Amino acid sequence: MTPGYDTFYAGRKVLITGGLGFIGSNLAHRLVALDADVVIIDSLIQDYGGNPYNIHGIEDQVSVHVVDMRDEHSTDHLVRDRDVIFNLAGQVSHLDSMRDPHTDLEINCRSQLSLLEACRKHNPGVKVVFAGTRQVYGHPDHLPVTEEHLVRPVDVNGINKVAGEYYHLVYNNIFDIRACSLRLTNVYGPRQLIKHDRQGFIGWFIRLALENDEIQVYGDGSQLRDFVYVDDAAEAFLEAGASDTCNGNVYNVGGIEPISHRNLVKLLLEIAHAGTVRYVTWPEDKKAIDIGNFYADSTKFKNAVGWTAKTTLRDGFLSTLDFYRKNLRHYVDATHANES
């Protein structure tokens, strides 16, 4: 663990872009508990995952600005006095990026440049931690995937996300804006968007299990993935934000061990005591951008700051299901909430 991590954020001025979203809001809860001065930016674009209820319980302890990062004037103002920026704002749907590539470009590239330029002009001493993605690797040549693997994304979202990541590295190397990127694998847990399935399958599977519905698994379910519980992901951001060892680098943030989709669903249904499963043919649009088996090697990040994933999939599912059972009406349409 990073020396002084337990006290590093006390009184520290922190900005979270995308802070009403899934990972950003969980990070906000952690930072408030650490006595940080937290400012949140979120565009609250419909269907992107921002949800004001995600900061329930800490509303009076954070400052929230509903701002689109493409608004350079607002971004310039909000970065000025911050010590650390956790940059999680973005468009994360792979399918949406293929259907509307220009919007994905605007949000995942232009917005990142706007933020970094604001830092260069108004707050060059800030530390920035960017939320990258394992999608940048594309189809893996070997498993587990290390950071030395070639970067060759298979969809528009992956291309724009790696461009956003490289902007951060260039600004670190050329303009001395301390920055690093965490390439996240499949993150799941409380406060995740579960209204639709366009931002990854794991949240959608959890919702279907909660509603005692049918989960459709593509193919024979043998494809492998690793999963990171959101508390572990938040811990990774906190470690990176507190350490200058990470500056100018990219790191995988992966799960404890890989699991097949078949066994994942089996475990989820067992814990939920509800739901069914059916194996179906791959839809053409999803098969075209699927990367096959994937799980990450996080050794580089462990060596840098001591981080490892700690939460087992069973424990993560238990906590996640408990959260949504108590709060489901805040995460699905009212008609569905009344049915559950």
Q: Considering the domain boundaries, does residue 124 fall inside one?
A: yes
Tell me the backbone φ, ψ of residue 130, rounded to 5 degrees: -95, 140
Higher pLDDT, 337 or 63: 63
Q: Considering the domain boundaries, does residue 333 fall inside one?
A: no
Q: Considering the domain boundaries, does residue 140 fall inside one?
A: yes
Q: Considering the domain boundaries, does residue 65 fall inside one?
A: yes
168-200: per-residue pLDDT in tens?
999 999 999 999 999 999 999 999 999 887 767
How sure is the predictor about 2, in pLDDT bands with cuts at 50, 70 and 90?
very low
Q: How many CB atoms lie within 10 A of CB 233?
A: 26
pTM higher than 0.85: yes
Which residues does residue 279 pair with via DSSP β-bridges, in sequence order?
A: 217
Q: Considering the domain boundaries, does residue 101 fall inside one?
A: yes
Three-state SS for 262?
helix
Q: Alpha-carbon distance 307 to 340, whole Å?
A: 38
Residues with Cβ < 8 Å from 226, sequence gap 6 or more?
Answer: 185, 186, 254, 255, 256, 257, 258, 259, 294, 295, 296
Structural domain including 68 reads: 5-193+227-255+296-311
The mean pLDDT value for 296-320 works out to: 97
> Given this model, what pLDDT does residue 71 score?
76
Split into its structural domains, the chain has a count of 1
Work out whether the CA dihedral 39, 200, 190, 195 comes out positive or negative: positive
Q: Considering the domain boundaries, does residue 25 fall inside one?
A: yes
> Given this model, what pLDDT does residue 336 score?
45
CATH number of the domain enclosing 152: 3.40.50.720
Q: Considering the domain boundaries, does residue 261 fall inside one?
A: no
Percentage of residues in the chain with pLDDT exceeding 90? 76
Check: CB of residue 49 under 8 Å from CB of residue 199.
yes
Q: Considering the domain boundaries, does residue 211 fall inside one?
A: no
79-96: per-residue pLDDT in tens?
999 999 999 988 777 677
